[in-house]
Amino acid sequence: MSTQTNDSILSTNSTSVNRQHYWLAWELLCNVVLAIYFLQFVVANGASLMASFRLSTLLLLFKVSADAIFHLVRRPAKDISLNPYDWVIGIVGAYTNFFYLAVEGHDNLGGTLLQIVGLFLAVFAMISLNRSIGFVAANRGVKSDGMYRWVRHPLYMAYMVSFFGFLLNHFTVHNLLVYTIMATCLYLRSRSEERVLLRDPEYQEYSQRVRYRLIPFVI
């Protein structure tokens, strides 16, 4: 019996290790694709910025650059969703950022202020995360400091604010469609992440203390 039990434990551990290596390989592939999209995005919008300087375009480049850097140095997850739906909305939500396009025109004060506020919120949220950012619903450690004292998914809130400001400055049907897809995926991602994180007793306690998931006093 002892030998059979040990064999069973070794088999389970081997399966767990193989599964972890599989998903780590997927995350590495996502990083490679992210780098390719980032270079394409910089070339396309950098050319627009060189042709006609607009603060809103520069802020967009800063925002997406920060996203790319933090994703590339992110911490491996200790618990990650294996649900294909979670992966689809996670990856689509992350990569839609690279489809915003700067257009000719003039910035308005309201849109620019929203971009600046959103950028600062995003940087603050990323610092609060401390490399625990990712594409798909996962537990990379429960965070409760910084912006996480007020809302459970502050980075998604920052995305919505920042890119809405860009949309006001560069309004096109294309950018509106990109924003709608991004915002929808962010909302769905927050729900998916809650399902994974609520497996952790520490997060269950945290979610009781911080009531709002995306927008303080609203959602």
Which range of 17-26, 44-53, 160-169, 206-215 scores highest in mean pLDDT? It is 160-169
Q: How many CA atoms lie within 13 A of 21 on its CB side?
A: 6
Cβ contact 133:155 at 8 Å: yes
Q: Which of 3.30.1490, 1.10.3580, 1.10.3470, 1.20.120 would CATH assign to domain 2-209?
A: 1.20.120
Q: Is the pTM of this model over 0.75?
A: no
Answer yes or no: are the C-beta atoms of 10 and 40 closer than 8 Å: no
Domain assignments of the chain as residue spans, ordered by start: 2-209
Q: What is the pLDDT of residue 171?
A: 93
The widest CA-to-CA distance across the chain, in whole angstroms, is: 76
Determine what percent of the chain is predicted with pLDDT higher than 90: 10
Q: Indicate the residue type of 170.
A: H
pLDDT digits (tens, 9 = 90+) for 141-192: 677 777 788 888 888 888 899 889 999 988 999 999 999 999 998 888 888 8
Dump the DSSP string for 139-164. ES----SGGGGT-S-HHHHHHHHHHH
